[in-house]
Chain A
């Protein structure tokens, strides 16, 4: 199949970028989207153009490194699928495809389609953990955890930190990401000791990074490759209000 690509190119953080158009000829429908970009880059390189930079690593939908807004939708048209697992058979011969980086003031573009997502790391560093050191922990079966709660925790924990929720949100809000982490620990006995402190600190950092507020559009849930439910946002909201009104001052 033959496609026309409009790809965002940007030299670095400081230089303004622009779209450039590429012809993608003889693309196999069995290629993944990133393999298609590999091929296009390889050909461009042969013509003396620097290859387009995009983040990717595991290419099996779990590391969360790949991104790309494809025709207006983060991770492209297939639901519950990361860009690296999206295949070209989801497109038609002759399609125009617009490829853009995640757009958010908290995710500055570093080059072409690569953005800086270290804001997520900083949110995590504020409270996305249980404050225990290595060693001296009780036996794994010492505290029973109901299967239902463990499953709810696991649903939330499956977040891959890709940032598609931010990219899809019209407010560039990261509430699904923060909510997922808060919810995971909320459903586990190990998370209780720091429950208030965690939610307050993580939300505070979320705001400090310049992410927007949640308008409950639910676009994040729709694009999340791991299908994380906006339930986690409601849970975080509840916990935040409880902590802010009656919780600790930590």
Chain B
């Protein structure tokens, strides 16, 4: 029945041109890169939640990440590449979509589309900006570092002296502006994913009639969970639970 089995595979060039050149290919690349980034986000969130365990745990974890060397750079490179792929395909698709309707409706109405789906471009753009700030803030220590200079190195139980990343976080989020900014940033990420998760599954054709209603709920639920996991850290610092 299946012709795919009996016929020769297309050349790799054709595969690439289809994936890169067609609406469905571009969308699939966006979906795959999106899902990979979502997976990273969950890991990242799990890392952050260790703030609740205490300075020892969090700094140990941070030091572990820092000491990964080549692997660390590979992951960083991978994340940048995925982000670029995600953004590149998003721009490609957006440009095509704009061109597809050159004359707008005089009365324009949304009927069922969710808030998340309607704001993907905006939320994605702001989240990108937010991630940029986040990297400049905690990774390169370029911005928002007021008070960091007074933080001494942290001595782990095993005697190792490491950066006190825990304290940097606490100092930062005791600033209400930064805390609320971060909460806002991850809020938009949550909004982006409230549509992104189910949309990427639909784009990859994973959803069938049986699963769709479930994923329609699961997508926003996961996005909400991610938001809560990220937002709770700055919030806890702000209200003084984490000191």
Contact = CB atoms under 8 A, between A and B. Distances in A.
Interface of A: 6, 19, 69, 71-73, 98, 100, 103-106, 168, 170-173, 175, 189, 192-197, 200, 203-204, 206-207, 210-219, 221-223, 229-231, 233-250
A241 B14 contact: no
Given A73-B109, A237-B202, A250 B101 contact: no
Given A72-B105, A200-B18, A212-B97, A241 B205 contact: yes
Interface of B: 1-4, 7-11, 14-15, 18-19, 21-28, 93, 96-97, 99-113, 117-118, 120, 195, 198-199, 202-209, 212
A173 B23 contact: yes
A180 to B, nearest CB: 14
A104 B207 contact: no
A212 B96 contact: yes
Given A105-B102, A170-B101, A218-B113, A237 B203 contact: yes
A236 B23 CA distance: 12
Contacts of B109: 71-73
Given A106-B100, A212-B97, A234 B202 contact: yes
B100 A173 contact: yes
Contacts of A98: 106-107
A173 B97 contact: yes
Contacts of B15: 244-245
Contacts of A204: 22
Given A194-B3, A234-B208, A246 B9 contact: yes
A242 B100 contact: no
Contact of A171 (B11, B100, B195): B100
B3 A168 contact: no
Given A196-B3, A234-B207, A249-B10, 8 more contacts: A72-B107, A100-B105, A104-B100, A105-B100, A171-B100, A213-B96, A234-B206, A248-B3
Contacts of B10: 244, 247-249
B3 A241 contact: no
A193 B100 contact: no
Contacts of B1: 189, 192-193
A127 to B, nearest CB: 13
Contacts of A196: 3-4, 7
A244 B19 contact: yes
Given A219-B113, A222-B112, A247-B4, A100 B107 contact: yes
Contacts of A231: 207-209, 212
Contacts of A170: 97, 101, 113
